């Protein structure tokens, strides 16, 4: 292995260590506690080493956000693949979204710390666009089966995403001890959305 290859491998190893330690801090103390200084201390390097790999704490959080959206897209794809009709796909995806939020709370907090993604974010970040496209496909298929095929797909996608995100947020804040009621609310809201969409 040449000098440049060895340097590249070392850079990748340090970057991976930064991310691993950053995630440990997020898991132990919450993402608000993450700082470049804390990461540098944990990996026993100086802060310029961390800055060489990530220009800011936000760049590290964006990395975790991308990772979260990739995981979510995978969950949604698997849920969707189990059903052929768009209404069943949407219902299955709502459950998958819910389970993702429960199983990956730290990712979810980073992904949605400032609310649902803006249109610009959806277009600029591939992992968010993948989630958006998966939702769009089933919504578009449901609209084709409806009495009003001229409905704005993007508006309906935003509405559906807002319902899912809102219910997860409400559950996390106000009803962590009542998962059965929260799940019934999710099912009711999703079925209401599907019924309105397909009429």
Per-domain residue ranges for the chain? 3-55, 64-198
Residue appearing with tokens 């996608």: 157
C-alpha of 72 from chain center: 5
The per-residue pLDDT for 118 is: 64
The per-residue pLDDT for 110 is: 86
Averaged pLDDT of the chain: 88
Binning pLDDT at 50, 70 and 90, where does residue 1 land?
low
Binning pLDDT at 50, 70 and 90, where does residue 174 land?
low
Long-range contacts of 192-196 (CB under 8 A, 24+ apart): 193/90, 193/159, 193/160, 193/163, 194/87, 194/90, 194/91, 194/142
* pLDDT greater than 80 at residue 11: yes
| Run of H or E including 31 | none
* pLDDT greater than 70 at residue 15: yes
* pLDDT greater than 60 at residue 115: no
Secondary structure (DSSP) of 54-93: -SSHHHHHHHHHHHHHHHHHHHHHHHHHT-SSHHHHHHHH
- Cα(25)–Cα(15) distance, integer angstroms: 15
For domain 64-198, give its CATH number from 3.40.50.300, 3.40.50.720, 3.30.420.40, 1.10.357.10. Answer: 1.10.357.10
The per-residue pLDDT for 168 is: 86
Whole-structure pTM value: 0.84
| pLDDT tens string 148-162 | 888 899 899 999 999
3-class secondary structure, 187:
helix
| pLDDT tens string 27-83 | 898 878 889 999 999 999 999 999 999 999 989 988 999 999 999 999 999 999 999
Find the mean pLDDT for residues 168-196: 80
* pLDDT greater than 90 at residue 22: yes
Binning pLDDT at 50, 70 and 90, where does residue 104 land?
very high
For domain 3-55, give its CATH number from 3.40.50.300, 1.10.1300.10, 3.30.530.20, 1.10.10.60. Answer: 1.10.10.60
* pLDDT greater than 80 at residue 180: no
| Residue 61, phi then psi, degrees to nearest 5 | -65, -35
pLDDT-above-70 percentage for the chain: 91
**Secondary structure, 3-state, 107-166:** HHHHHCCCCCCCHHHHHHCHHHHHHHHHHHHHHHHHHHCCCCCCCCHHHHHHHHHHHHHH
């Amino acid at each position: 292995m040449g000098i440049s290859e060895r340097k590249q491998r070392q850079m990748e190893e340090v970057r991976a260590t930064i991310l691993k330690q950053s995630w440990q801090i997020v898991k132990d103390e919450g993402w608000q506690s993450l700082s470049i200084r804390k990461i540098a201390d944990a990996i026993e390097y100086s802060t310029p080493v961390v800055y060489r790999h990530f220009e800011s704490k936000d760049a590290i959080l964006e990395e975790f956000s991308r990772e979260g959206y990739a995981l979510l897209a995978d969950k949604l794809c698997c849920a969707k693949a189990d059903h052929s009709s768009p209404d069943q796909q949407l219902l299955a995806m709502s459950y998958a979204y819910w389970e993702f939020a429960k199983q990956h709370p730290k990712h979810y907090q980073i992904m949605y710390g400032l609310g649902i993604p803006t249109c610009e974010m959806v277009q600029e970040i591939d992992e968010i666009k993948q989630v958006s496209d998966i939702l769009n496909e089933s919504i578009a298929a449901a609209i084709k089966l409806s009495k009003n095929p001229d409905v704005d797909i993007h508006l309906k996608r935003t509405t559906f995403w807002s319902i899912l995100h809102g219910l997860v947020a409400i559950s996390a804040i106000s009803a962590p001890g009542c998962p059965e009621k929260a799940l019934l609310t999710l099912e009711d809201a999703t079925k209401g959305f599907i019924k309105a969409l397909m009429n």
